[in-house]
Amino acid sequence: MNEFNLDNAIRKVPDFPKPGILFYDVTSIFTNKDAFSWIINKAEDMYKNKNINGILAVESRGFIVGAPLAQKLGVPLILARKKGKLPGETIQESYSLEYGEATLEIHKADVKPGANILIIDDLIATGGTLKACANMIEKLGAKVAGFFAIIGLPFLKYDEVLKGYPIETLIDYHGE
């Protein structure tokens, strides 16, 4: 597959959400059909022979990447939603944010014991969200096949939080 300059497709917004922060706006990728197609095709190539039995996509931008990839790989899409958004029997996991805590849930029935689940989000910052998803998957008897994101921010040390799991990102930013 031809390489694509993904960095050019990602909008950088200085001083957002506060002064001194350079925000990497992944939403600009979704408005660029060439960038979005390249991402999905690249992810398909990366995972088509990896014995993936399901994709868990994290609300909300993880859904955008997870849905077409699940369709291409022919596997179920499992949604990790904010607490209170799923109607069935769920498992939940809380995790720390910069200012406070959040909770994600998944439907218990959507995760088959023994399945190899790929967890997808748009961006990996500290790794807390993805670790919460991994904990739920493992409590339900499935295995975490790895983590995939478009953007990684390794200077926030997500590799320490996600130690022992395969982590794939398409582009990494190392801070300024």
pLDDT digits (tens, 9 = 90+) for 95-116: 987 678 999 999 999 999 999 9
What pTM, to 2 d.p., does this model score? 0.94
pLDDT-derived band at 23 (thresholds 50, 70, 90) equals confident
Q: Which domain, by its residues, includes 166? A: 49-172
pLDDT in tens, 35-44: 999 999 999 9
Catalytic residue numbers?
Answer: 61, 98
42 burial (CB, 10 Å; 0-12 / 13-18 / 19+) is middle
pLDDT in tens, 73-95: 999 999 999 999 999 999 999 99
Task: State how far the alpha carbon of 126 is from the alpha carbons of 96, 98, 153, in Å.
Answer: 10, 10, 8
Has residue 61 been placed in a domain? yes
Domains in the chain, number: 1
* pLDDT for res 108: 98
CA 40, distance to chain mean position in Å, is 13
CATH code where residue 85 lies: 3.40.50.2020
Evaluate if residue 2 carries a pLDDT over 60.
no
Q: What is the CA radius of gyration of the chain?
A: 16
Q: Which long-range contacts (CB under 8 A, 24 or more apart) does 164-167 make?
A: 165/134, 167/124
* pLDDT for res 176: 58
